[in-house]
Amino acid sequence: MSILENQSRRAFIRKTGLLLTGTTAYTVVPNFAWAQDDSRVETLAAVSRALFPHRHVPQKYYLACAQGLVDKAADDSALAELLERGIARLDAVYSRPFVELDEDSRLLALQRVHQSEFFGSVRGHAIVGLYNIPGIWKYFGYPGPSFSQGGYLNRGLDDIFWLNDV
């Protein structure tokens, strides 16, 4: 007796659909889950926060920014090597992992590598990668792009209430 003989067609299709969904999720999620456990993500997030310190911005945005750079390095062996060497150099400054350093020590470590290609690459990515995350905009009072609403010219360009506070 076959396994299929005991199942209705609908049950078979449902189980097959679940199997395909699970397989698809398995192929997508492990890369992300692996990167979350990757110390490179933690270190690059710490570097991004040291370069662009916003106490009111949750860590998840710095992690997302760092994740983007690690994902980019997965397809670019030269960038992956650059990140590995740069992180090793940062960790070597105080003979401790960069993520274990206090805020002042992190800044001093970054000053030692600030003229390196690693520093420039991480800084350049963080500028774009961090501030292009739509979820972060609310922490800075940015309502998002205005082009879909006709631009700023006729939408209160002069509504910059904060200018008087500067």
pLDDT tens-digit profile of 119-143? 999 999 999 999 999 999 999 988 8
Q: How many CB atoms lie within 10 A of CB 142?
A: 11
Task: Please give the structure tokens belonging to residue 54.
Answer: 């916003």
pTM for this structure?
Answer: 0.69
Q: Which residues does 117 contact at the CB level (< 8 Å), separation at least 6?
A: 82, 86
Span 26-39, average pLDDT? 48
- Least confidently predicted of 70-74, 123-127, 149-153, 154-158: 154-158
* Distance, C-alpha 143 to centroid of its chain: 21
